Amino acid sequence: MTIQLGQVAPDFEAETTQGTIHFHEWLGDSWGVLFSHPKDFTPVCTTELGETARLKPEFDKRGVKVIGLSVDDLDRHAGWEADIAETQGHAVNFPMIADPEKKVAALYGMVHPEADPSITVRTVFVIDPAKKVRLFMVYPPSTGRNFDEIIRVIDSLQMTDGRKVATPVNWQPGDRAIIPPSISDEQAKTLFPQGWEAERPYLRWVEVKA
């Protein structure tokens, strides 16, 4: 299955390290990050899960629930989590989906046969409270993910959703934003009474509060 931006994230029922979940029900009104790992006891994923556990307070602060997935079963997940806590210094503090039959992986297009038909690739989905997919990224097996970037994108999505702006390259919270071309100058006068800087007619910079 091919997932596209803006579509409703497929719902599913799955066994996790924190019990059986119905995905949409588990998400509730929260944002969500669903990310897959090739398999348990792999070195790059071990570092990623430790980093996600370390960053969980940052996800919590943004109203984001995090859930991982691997094609291995719950028993292997339990053993791997012990390794993660010991080697990374942070115990896994979010659920991990056991997907040995690759049902969820197939539903989300996480298995790429040309790469390896037996495991999932490193996929990340960011899902909003309306259950719509707002971001997906696929990393090669040799490259660990940048979770600071995932948080940065969530900050941008949450800010731009409420303020009718876009964020420029390398944007960080507190930086200037951009008024999209779809908003006319007349509309902008109402939306942004503080004014803006027009570097070009199509490139209008505006200060917005986080």
| Residues noted as catalytic | 45
Q: How many CB atoms lie within 10 A of CB 24?
A: 15
Of 39, 10, 7, the C-alpha closest to 27 is 10
The residue ranges of DSSP E strands in 13-132, in sequence order, are 13-16, 19-22, 31-37, 64-70, 96-98, 122-127
Instruction: Quickly tell me which residue has 């991990």 as its tokens.
Output: 96
Q: Which residues contact 176 (CB under 8 A, 6 or more apart)?
A: 168, 205, 206, 207, 208
Contact between 16 and 98 under an 8 Å Cβ cutoff? The reply is: yes
Structure-token pair, residue 181: 């071309």
Q: Which residues contact 142 (CB under 8 A, 6 or more apart)?
A: 44
What is the C-alpha to C-alpha distance for residues 101 and 3, in angstroms, rounded to an integer? 20
Q: How many CB atoms lie within 10 A of CB 201?
A: 8
- Helix, strand or coil, per DSSP, at residue 37: strand
